[in-house]
């Protein structure tokens, strides 16, 4: 019986963690996009930045629909795309200043 209680508790914890709104992930994605813009991604990495923004918009739609798991995944992907855009923009700016 104790084993069943432990398994049930673990299962409920998993379900609850997936069912909560991805507030932090959404915030992280927005901040990463702002950082990319500040690094010059609009000029140096427009496609990657557009992808990040598109993923964030999709996550916002999913959040409104209560699809928290999908929203969390897309917010995390948006953050990753924004980080790539920022890194590419910084590298491009650095390379151009060395020329």
Task: Write down the domain spans for the chain.
Answer: 21-98
- Decide if 69 contacts 47 (C-beta within 8 A): no
Whether residue 14 is predicted with pLDDT greater than 60 in this model: the reply is: no
Question: How would you classify residue 61: left for phi > 0, otherwise alpha for psi between -120 and 50, otherwise beta?
Answer: alpha
- Decide if 59 contacts 71 (C-beta within 8 A): yes
Distance of alpha carbon 41 from the chain centroid: 17
Determine the pLDDT at residue 99.
Answer: 54
C-alpha span between 43 and 51 (Å, rounded): 14
Residue 59 token pair: 């996550």
pTM assigned to the model: 0.77
Q: What is the pLDDT of residues 25-56, one digit of tens each?
A: 999 999 999 999 999 999 999 999 999 999 99
Q: What is the pLDDT of residues 70-93, one digit of tens each?
A: 999 999 999 999 999 999 999 987
């Amino acid at each position: 019986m104790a084993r069943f209680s432990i398994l049930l508790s673990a299962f409920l914890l998993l379900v609850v963690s997936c069912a909560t709104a991805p507030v932090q992930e959404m915030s992280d994605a927005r901040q990463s996009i702002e950082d990319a813009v500040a690094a010059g991604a609009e000029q140096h990495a427009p496609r990657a930045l557009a992808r990040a923004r598109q993923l964030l918009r999709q996550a916002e739609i999913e959040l409104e629909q209560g699809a928290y798991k999908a929203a969390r995944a897309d917010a995390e992907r948006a953050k990753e795309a924004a980080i790539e855009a920022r890194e590419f923009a910084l590298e491009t700016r650095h390379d151009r200043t060395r020329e």
